[in-house]
Each structure stands twice: as C-alpha cells, then as structure tokens.
Copies of this chain bind each other. A is one copy, B any other.
Amino acid sequence: MASELALSEHLKANFSLNGLPAQVFKPFWRDLAEFNQYFRQLMTSNVKIVDRVARYLVKHRGKQFRPALLLLSARSCGKLRRESFITAVVVELLHTATLVHDDVVDDAELRRGFPTIHKIWKNKIAVLMGDYLLSKSLILATEVGSLEVMNLIATVAKRLIKGELFQLQKSRNLNITEAEYFQLIGDKTASLISACCELGALTAEAPEEHRRALRDYGEHLGLAFQIKDDMLDYEGSRFVLGKPTGLDIKEKKITLPLIYAFQSASEGERKYILKLIRKGADRKKIREVIDFVRDHQGLEKARQKAFEIKDTAINRLALLPDSEARNALMDLADFVVHRTR
C-alpha cells in the first residue's frame, strides 16, 4: 500500500497535462500517466536508428489528445480495461506515423517548434519511420484480439490518407465547395477523433447504442475542432497561438471562413481574392484576405456553424449515464470551440 501511494505521488509529481485542458482532464491524470508509461515503453527499438528517432518523437510529443479522448470515452462507459490502454497507444502510434509522413509531404520545417524528422534525418528515414510506426501500431492492435478494433483502425487509416490526397489535389485549383470542405475535414480530422471515441466504447464493452452515441459525438467534436482551428488562422493572436496567423492562406488552403465569405461577396471580389492567394500572398496581402473574410461575415458564419455542430455533439451524449467522465466530454466540446489556441 505504502509503495503504491509513493508511486502515485511520484507519478503525479512527474506528470504534466502537457497542453490538454486542465478543467477537463485533471480528474483523470492517473489514466493519462499510465498511458504515457505504456507509450514510452513501446517507443524503443533494438535497431539503433529507429530507437534514436523514436526517442526524439517521445521527447517532442504533442498533447496526446486522441488517446486521452479514447480513455475518457471508455471511462464514460464503465471501467478502464487493459484493452483500452493498448488501443490508446495504437491510435497515438497511428497519429504519430501520419504526422511524420505529412511533414515529408508538406516539406514542413518545424513541428511543435522543433525540427521535423525529415529535416534532421532526411526523407528516407522519415518515410520508413512512418511505415515502422504504422506497422507497430497494427501489430499492437491485433493484441487487443478484436476484429472490430482492427477494422476500425484500418478504415480510419485509409480515410486519413484519402483526405491528405484529396487536399493535395484541391490545393492546385483552389476550387473547393462547402460540401467538399466538410468531406475533407471529416476524413482528415473527424475520422480519427470519432474512431477514438468509438474505440473507447468498444474496448469498454459498451452496449451498441452507447458506442454509436460516442462515435457521433466524436465525429461532431472533430468537425467543430477543425473549424475552430481554421478560424484561429484568421482570428487568432500570434502571441497566443505561438505561430503567425494566415498560414493556411500562405499554403493555399481554402477553409470554411473564406468559403462563407465568398458566399456574400461578388464574383469579381472572389476572383480577386483567389488571385491574391494563387500568386503566393505576402504579409500585406494576407492581411487583405483576412480583412475580406471578416468584412464578409466569414468568421461569424463559421462560428455559428461550429457552435451548432458542438451542440449536436453534446446532445448525442445525453444517452450515456450521468458520470464525471461523460460531463468532462461535454465540457471538452465547449472548450474546443471557445479556445484561443
């Protein structure tokens, strides 16, 4: 007993929420600490180069939002079982794999303020390391011993990649409709977030209707999350965000605020703005696009949409029994659309 208490104190002292909203996740810090131990143990290898890159990835890991969401979803359906922890590692490995490849594809210099894998170790290693993490994730997934879990993971992997490919295709002609935007963020963001919630339910052996409720909650949470992310690129403060605004404009990504602004602009204005973006906008022109979006209610309409979707997410949870975890999930949906970074 004494040593368990000591361990607990030790974990607590050494654990940080690392960017996760404290008001939501603090009561569950112990789950997250346990997950982190599993994750660190698995991010080692006896192939030297793999081990070195894996350690770098652990050191500069993100807030691990997806596994945290999976564990919270599982808690909302009952007790945490070993299967939920394994699956949480599976999704974090999968997410990490896609980020490593995305950075190659976008030739990104930095991730979370640190040099990307392909910038340090070159493309070769980054491509293979992404593949390695993906296959590691899948082997681990088979350990859960459920074909449903496997199929969910494989399907979400395909959706993530399909989204990336679609975005690459779209970034060339700048011609994206509202429906296509929703399909894109559904594939690129909501798919994995939704899968995390569903996997939480699945590994907690929840009844079918709870599982469906959590899947729908996750899909809407993911959409709201991405819309807010895209809004912050227009309305955020670079000092709070820790990165400049207007990055999407610079990278020729057309997101919801701009799509909505076009709806109340003339065809001439639309063409003018697209020309600015196509030519590769400098700071002054980015400012012009941001002002255009604000003046044409693009941000206001996007905010309304994000709030509607967030409300749908919360409503889906009404079906679940009242619990600290269920209420935390509700708070999380609110947090997602109110955050400033």
Seen from chain A, the residues whose Cβ lies within 8 Å of a Cβ on chain B are 47-50, 98, 101, 104-105, 123-125, 127-132, 134-136, 138-139, 141-142, 145, 147, 150-151, 153-155, 157-158, 161-162, 164-166, 168-169
Contact = CB atoms under 8 A, between A and B. Distances in A.
A105 B126 CA distance: 9
25 contacts: A47-B162, A49-B168, A98-B131, A104-B123, A104-B124, A105-B124, A105-B127, A123-B123, A124-B168, A128-B164, A128-B168, A131-B134, A131-B157, A132-B158, A134-B134, A135-B158, A138-B153, A138-B154, A139-B155, A139-B158, A141-B154, A142-B147, A147-B147, A147-B150, A150-B150
Given A124-B168, A168-B124, A132 B150 contact: no
A108 to B, nearest CB: 12
A49 to B, nearest CB: 5
A101 to B, nearest CB: 6
Q: How many copies does the complex hold?
A: 2
A129 B145 CA distance: 28
Nearest to A141: B154
A153 B147 CA distance: 14
A98 to B, nearest CB: 8
A233 to B, nearest CB: 22
A151 B153 CA distance: 14
Nearest to A126: B127
B151 A139 contact: yes
Contacts of A141: 154
Given A47-B166, A139-B158, A158-B135, A127 B150 contact: no
Contact of A169 (B48, B101, B161): B48
A135 B157 contact: yes
Contacts of A164: 128
Contacts of A123: 104-105, 123
Contacts of A155: 139
Given A101-B131, A135-B158, 19 more contacts: A47-B166, A50-B162, A101-B127, A104-B123, A104-B124, A105-B127, A124-B168, A127-B127, A128-B161, A128-B168, A129-B165, A134-B157, A136-B158, A138-B157, A139-B154, A139-B155, A142-B151, A142-B154, A145-B147
Contacts of A47: 162, 165-166, 169
Contacts of A134: 131, 134, 157
Contacts of A142: 147, 150-151, 154
B161 A135 contact: yes
Interchain residue pairs A-B with the least CB separation, the first 6 = A138-B154, A135-B157, A135-B158, A142-B151, A139-B154, A105-B124
